[in-house]
Amino acid sequence: MRVNYYFTNTYMMKRTFSWLSAWVLASGLLVVSCSFPDEEDDTDPIETGTIQLQFDNIVGDKDLQLDSTKYVNAAGEDFTVSKLNYYISNIKLTRTDGSVFTVPQDSSYFLIREADSQSQKLTIRNVLTGDYTGIEFLVGVDSLRSVMEPDSPGRKGILDIYAGPTNEEGMYWDWNPGYIFLKLEGSSDSSATPNGKYYYHIGFFGGRTQRTINNLRTVKLTFPGQKAIVTTSIVSSVVIQADIQKIFNSPTQLSIKQSPSLMFTDSTKYVADNYAGMFNVKEIKIN
Amino acid sequence: MRKVTGILSILAALLALVVSCSKKTDAPEPVVPPDDKPTPLEWTKPSYFPDPVYDLSENPLTVEGVELGKFLFYDGILSRTDNIGCGTCHQQQAAFTHHGHDLSHGVDDKIGTRNAPSVQNMAWNTSFFWDGGVHDMDMVPAVPIQNKVEMDERVANVIEKLRKTPVAGATKQVDYPKMFKAAFGSDSITADRMMQALSQFMMTMVSATSRYDYFVRGDASALTAQEKDGLSVFKQKCASCHAGELFTDQKFRNNGLAPNRINDQGRYTITLNADDRLKFKVPSLRNVGLTAPYMHDGRFTTLEQVLDHYANDKPGSKDSIYVSPTLDPLLNVAGQKRGISLTNTEKQSIIAFLKTLNDDDFIKDKRFSDPGIGTSF
């Protein structure tokens, strides 16, 4: 079968292979360690700790309230938010010396849901100790995962399209297979839909057999004036704000009246560009 | 590079931990007795068909798997309202289409946007649905199940419902845990298994016993003189798109239908590529005499209307071929009237030929029939 995959992230393959070899090597070490069961593991100085990422969805300078609060976008249109979900994946942390710690693939996929406060707090374990000054992540699910067979282990957990939050929240187009990276819905007096709602469902990872648009966006943030310290005992919590106003307003000003439904059009790229810029690090808390 | 070494050591340490912790718990896996093994089912293709696209090595057919797939196919439990099954819109007597329905008809009498395509010879499909969005048969069932105007259910919830069967007091008692166990060796009900069972059943739904098939296999008397004429005109004027023994080249083409009221752009909604506007998948013509109405939105009720469209001499219409940048070049040859030139006699013989693709055995085959749990409207 001729299937051309268009990888949005060319590093993914390499990374997968390097992880594969890491596992193979690791299993080799394991055999050795098993043959010397009494040996203490006192030779390895590498230590790890935990870091937390707290996503906080806001509108302007206020905490986002689902349904109850009316906001006004830059086009002067009122809107409420009834649903806001987005995937955060492929997380990397930058250290003071510029080196990068890549969160292992098996713990690097999250679905943030405004209606579920637990989903907004990401706990990442086994992070190399050190002082971190920045973070990088993808909004959405990379093409490599998107084209895996749905029954493969890499598509289980939060990426399971038939069970759990991804299925319950309908974060997947099964008729045009691909994850919906970000789903924003609400009501607006400016919406011309029969129920007065607006729908932004942003997906498209670049295409499976044929190139399509690619709405995957990488976000890079620096921690302002603070470091996130990771030690074996100190857990830093990075508070990342996501300002929903920016989805409508900048850099491209969108109008609910003009497009109450943005799902399967080229214009979705403007939404993706806008939300790529909605994140900022508010503060680092030390727990 | 230090990073890699670091990660390596962590992994090694983690693994060591896992193994040392689990070392003593080597309780034997429960062994499935050999008589619980599902019975393998051999699948053979008609000799003159191409090789199948579906990879059976990933999902080998078994008697029990196919049986489970058949129950799932007909059971309304797949829908939110528990009364719409696959078989509701894919009815056997209409070669697994929805006879008399131009657009698909789902829960709460909701109406979809496209005509229900035939479920037949799925093994050879390189893509599914009118827009070809899905490339893998295992991923087909979730589309109607989760479509708001078809079955409007979540797959996760279907799985929950299946696990709770048999339901006490229900008129139709189906014990899905038992059937999953028979098909897969354990009673674990998962979405992956459900999709596999449905694919197994759909793999068996092969239509290759029409009069045309007997003709191809060497029975010259299977077709009348007019039908043979039709076949030869068909090969000349239709087979560039409706190609091969499956009567489709599996491509996406704009056949000059004017956009409908919802301006359905077809393949474009999948690729967002302007070259794909108004293109739809070329359907197979097997059983076409049984699958009216026709086209992606069921706008034509008879084969005569279909041929009038292609011949561009629809009564009362100057030019029935809608011209747009993606119109198929075969329908728009420079210096000629748009469409395919067909005389009335040719049309009649083509239609006579097309009806020889009706497969009576297929639409009566008990192996594909509702096991008594289906619903139809």
ipTM here: 0.78
For residue A115, give the nearest of A186, A178, A38 by alpha carbon.
A186
B272·A149 Cβ contact <8 A: no
Which tokens sit at A68? 């109850």
Residue of B nearest to A25 (CA): B8
Nearest CA in chain A to B270: A176
Q: Are strands A261-262 and A197-202 parallel, antiparallel or unpaired?
A: parallel
pLDDT band at B109 (very low <50, low <70, confident <90, very high): confident
Shortest Cα distance from B147 to chain A (angstroms)?
Answer: 9
Average pLDDT of A9-26? Answer: 41
Query: What per-residue confidence (pLDDT) applies to A36?
Result: 41
Do the chains contact at A175 and B147, CB–CB below 8 Å?
yes
Q: How far is A63 from chain B (nearest CA, A)?
A: 31
* A157 half-sphere exposure, CB direction, 13 A CA radius: 11
- Tell if the CB–CB gap between B135 and A209 is shorter than 8 Å: yes
Q: Which residue of A has its CA nearest to B23?
A: A34
Q: B11 to chain A, minimum CA–CA distance in Å? A: 6
| CA distance readout (Å), B103 to A232, A266, B22, B287 | 62, 28, 57, 19
% of chain A with per-residue pLDDT over 90: 78
Percent of chain B residues past pLDDT 90, beyond the cut: 80
Closest Cβ–Cβ partner in A30, A175, A211 for B143? A175
Does the beta-carbon distance from A30 to B269 stay under 8 Å? no
Distance from CA of B2 to the nearest CA of A (A): 10
Is A151's CB within 8 Å of B272's CB?
Answer: no
Q: Which of B136, B154, B273 sits opposite A168 (nearest CB)?
A: B154
- Residue A281's H or E segment, with its range, is strand A279-286
Percent helix / strand / coil, chain A, rounded to 5? 20, 35, 40
pLDDT at B374 over 70: yes
Q: Which of B8, B134, B191 sits opposite A163 (nearest CB)?
A: B191
| A20 interface with B at CB cutoff 8 Å | no
Q: State how beta strands A62-63 and A197-202 pair.
A: unpaired
Spatial separation of the C-alpha atoms in residues A142 and A87, rounded to whole Å: 10
pLDDT at B34: 55
Element (H or E) spanning A125, and its range?
A: strand A121-128
**A104, A167, A204 member nearest B155 (Cβ):** A167
The minimal CB distance from B143 to the residues A167, A174, A209 is found for A174
To the nearest whole Å, the CA of B17 is away from the closest chain A CA by: 9
- B139, A174: Cβ pair inside 8 Å? yes
Residue in B with minimal Cα distance to A147 = B135
Structure-token match 């069932």, residue found:
B141
Residue A140 touches chain B, beta carbons under 8 Å: no
The reply to whether A150 touches chain B by the CB within 8 Å rule is yes
Q: Do B156 and A162 touch (CB under 8 A)?
A: yes
Instruction: Give the model confidence (pLDDT) of B257-302 as tens digits.
Output: 999 999 999 999 999 999 999 999 999 999 999 999 999 999 999 9
Interface contact A266-B269, CB threshold 8 A: no
Least confident stretch, A42-56, B174-188, B200-214: A42-56
- In the predicted model, what is the mean pLDDT of chain B? 90
CA distance A232 to A230: 7
Which pLDDT value is given to residue A42? Answer: 53
The pTM (predicted TM-score) of the whole model is 0.83
Res B12 pLDDT > 60: no
Residues 6+ apart with CB under 8 A from B48: B216, B217, B245
Nearest residue, CB atoms, A22 vs list B4, B133, B136: B4
**Is any Cβ of chain B less than 8 angstroms from the Cβ of A26?**
yes
Per-residue pLDDT tens digits for B68-82:
999 999 999 999 999
- Residue of chain A whose alpha carbon sits nearest to that of B18: A30
Backbone phi, then psi, for B373, in 5-degree steps?
-125, 0
Task: Tell me the H-state helices in A97-239.
Answer: 143-147, 164-168
